[in-house]
Amino acid sequence: MDADIDRILWTASEISDRVSSLASEINRDFKEKGCDLVVVGVATGAFMFLADLVRAIEIPVAVDFVRVESYGSGTESNGMPRISSDLKVDVSGKHVIVVEDIVDTGNTLSCLISYLKSKGACSVSVCTFLDKPARRRVHFELVGEGKIYRGFECPDYFVVGYGMDFAELYRNLPYVGVLKPEMHT
């Protein structure tokens, strides 16, 4: 374990099992749907989860990324996310699954879902590895037949690893852990 980590919440193998189940749900739900599927990862945090998830998706799928920034180098959302790197794929008339590492206040998702709706996505679902409901401030609504897929509910600690950072570090850890308080306070 990294010396800056207090304790591990989910090991690499627990993560891998959960990601397989999420992919199975997605395979089942989207197999019979008529139109194209696009998975949109929110950079940077979602990169590792997205890579694992799409490897287990067994239907044709396009992969794209957007960058939505709200945290900078701190630990608190500033409440005003902006899309700083746009989609490459045209999502109009397509089923979109937004892939996130964590939903915290909900600001990032609510901004992104409105944007995808305005681009004409026929449905917008969300697949988030972690959900931290204790910190939710903004309610977001899915689009069309969109549905939410959640990996784990996250207790209210500052967590890092499996894509999640503090000041851009720790994203490469293959597990999710609680950062020692003295490292971020």
Active site residues: 104
User: Could you say which DSSP state residue 154 is in?
Assistant: P
**Closer CB to Mg ion, residue 131 or residue 165?**
165
Neighbouring residues of 182: CB distance < 8 A, sequence distance ≥ 6:
none
Count of beta carbons in the 10 Å neighbourhood of residue 147: 15
Is residue 152 within 8 A of residue 10, CB to CB? The reply is: yes
For ligand PRP, which stretch binds (CB under 6 A), given 8-16, 88-96, 97-105, 142-150?
A: 97-105
For ligand PRP, which stretch binds (CB under 6 A), given 1-9, 38-46, 86-94, 147-155?
A: 38-46
Q: How far is the CB of 156 from Mn ion (least distance, A)?
A: 18
Is 106 one of the binding residues for Mn ion (CB under 5 A)?
no
**Closer CB to ligand PRP, residue 50 or residue 91?**
50
- 149 strand-pairing partners: 127
Interface positions, 147-166, toward Mg ion (CB under 5 A): 165
Stretch 39-58: interaction string toward ligand PRP, x if CB under 6 A: ---x-xx-------------
Q: What is the three-state SS of 64-103?
A: EEEEEECCCCCCCCCCCCEEEECCCCCCCCCEEEEEEEEE
Query: Residue 69: which of ligand PRP, Mg ion, Mn ion, none does it interact with, CB under 5 to 8 A by kind?
Result: ligand PRP
Count of beta carbons in the 10 Å neighbourhood of residue 171: 17
Helix, coil or strand: residue 27: helix
Query: Residue 103: which of ligand PRP, Mg ion, Mn ion, none does it interact with, CB under 5 to 8 A by kind?
Result: ligand PRP
| Contacts to Mn ion by CB under 5 A | 42, 45
